[in-house]
Amino acid sequence: MTTATESIRQPATRAPNRQQNPPEALSCCSTFYEQDWVRNLAEDIFHPGGEDLTRRTIAAMDLPAHATVTDLGCGTGTTALMLARDFDLQVTGVDLSAANIERAIERSDTNSAAVRFIQADAKKLPFEDNEFDGILAECSFSLFADQPAVLAEMKRVLKPGGSLAITDMAFGGPLPADIAEVISPWTCLVDAKDQQTYATGFAAAGFEIQVIADESASLTNLIQLLKRKLLLLGAGGVLAGGSMPTFDLATIKYWLDRFQAEVEKGTIRYLRFNLQSP
């Protein structure tokens, strides 16, 4: 007989599994974030904190007018388009996913010379040395398969004195086994680190750390938002545009509550790093 606990062990749909797929084919959850139902759920903003956190992150980067900025792991371009529109910056969005780049270009104002989108792997950027004043990576760094290689590329394409901002998931302690098994493949937790390990990696790559800010409250807000949206989805698939997998709402609510409990304990965190290339 299946107990109530057993019946909620597995989500109704599963994210890609790193162990079962070759790294290049899996592309670090890229295929997960390409799906229409994921886009509809997230409204094309795939990071905790949304536009508010992006604006604070950019303010802390203290970029000059007309600065050149690349958004690495730009998804479908929401942040890049906003930066080009509202911040007087020259923005290049980069993503591994061809589908995301296609969607970002569709969403662009074709008359704007302030933004462009390029499909590329963050560990092999098609840019000159010292090309950018700033680099932004929102909820994408932890998905990059070879983080030291990506940091070396970031250092190479950033001008001396340039600004690097990374917002991402982090651990504040060991992740409980149930969460690690079931939830982490759905989020940016795949290769997330604790704060000190991130900081050590950034310093080893030659970056100076200016600010480390705890943005974990944005995770709680995101979980509440997802719960509200999933209720709407359950009420008729309003947001899903026909591509929604079969959700078991009770299962998903259970895991969102588990996730929230770990956020409250400080096991799962969201951090902002503002760094500088000397």
Binding site for ligand SAM (CB under 6 A): 27-28, 30, 33, 45-47, 73-75, 78-79, 94-97, 100, 121-122, 138-140, 143-144, 188
Q: Tell me the C-alpha distance between 184 and 17, whole Å.
A: 10
Distance CA 33, CA 219 (A): 18
Least distance from C-beta 236 to ligand SAM, angstroms? 26
Nearer residue to ligand SAM within complex by CB, 8 or 143: 143
Of residues 8 and 188, the one with the C-beta less far from ligand SAM: 188
- The Cα 162–Cα 149 span in angstroms is 18
Please list the helix, strand and coil fractions of the chain in percent, rounded to the nearest 5, in that order: 45, 20, 35
With respect to ligand SAM, which residue has the nearer C-beta, 97 or 216? 97
Tell the smallest beta-carbon distance from residue 222 to ligand SAM (Å). Answer: 11
Amino acid occupying residue 75: G
Give me the least distance between CB of 94 and ligand SAM, in Å please: 6
For tokens 């690690």, the residue is 180
* Shortest CB 190 distance to ligand SAM, Å: 10
Per the rule left: phi > 0, alpha: psi between -120 and 50, beta: everything else, 78 is: alpha
Amino acid at 216: S
What is each CA distance from 93 to 11, 77, 122, 226, 228, in whole angstroms?
Answer: 32, 7, 11, 26, 30
Taking the complex as a whole, how short is the minimal distance between the CB of residue 162 and ligand SAM, in angstroms? 19
Q: Closer to ligand SAM at the Cβ: 95 or 133?
A: 95
Q: Which is nearer to ligand SAM, 8 or 142 (CB)?
A: 142
Are 42 and 110 spatial neighbours (Cβ–Cβ below 8 Å)? no
